[in-house]
Amino acid sequence: MRQYAFGASIIEFCFLPRDPRGNFFLSLMKLLTCPLNGVRPVSEFAYGGEVRPMPHPNTCTDEQWSDYVFNRSSVPGVKREWWCHIASGYWFIAERDTLRDVVIATYSADRLRESAAS
């Protein structure tokens, strides 16, 4: 098995047995690094949406609240996203380039709260 690093994510190439013609089967597994559990297959995670500032529900207008709930930016580029490791229930932030589908960094949601407080 060979591992290749691309940014903060690692992609593993597993060579399986040959087919009847002698060709190798190539299996590509996409992995994501969880800050708590380490490198895991992406199938163990659930996408939670883009990190966006939430307006205060008691003071914002209906238009502001509906914009927050229903509208998303679909422009490709670097985004901060919520991800959950399903087995442990751990939520964290991943910075991902949606144009190239590359994970740049993953970190605890506490780091996001600390930067918002300062």
Residue with token string 């600390």: 114
Look up residue 7 and give its two tokens: 């940014």
Mean pLDDT of the chain: 82
d(CA 3, CA 112): 30
The string of pLDDT tens digits covering residues 33-62 is 999 999 999 999 999 999 988 999 899 999
Give the model's pLDDT for residue 75: 87
Grade residue 111 by pLDDT with cuts at 50, 70 and 90: confident
pLDDT-based confidence at residue 72 (cuts at 50, 70, 90) = confident
What are 10-31's pLDDT values in tens digits? 444 444 556 667 665 555 678 9
The rounded distance, in Å, linking the Cα atoms of 116 and 89 is 23
pTM for this model (two decimals): 0.70
CATH number for the segment(s) 2-117: 3.30.2270.10
Q: What is the pLDDT of residue 42?
A: 93
Measured CA to CA in angstroms, residue 54 lies from 3, 57, 65, 110, 111 at distances of 39, 8, 8, 17, 17
115 pLDDT higher than 90? no
pLDDT reading at 9 higher than 80: no
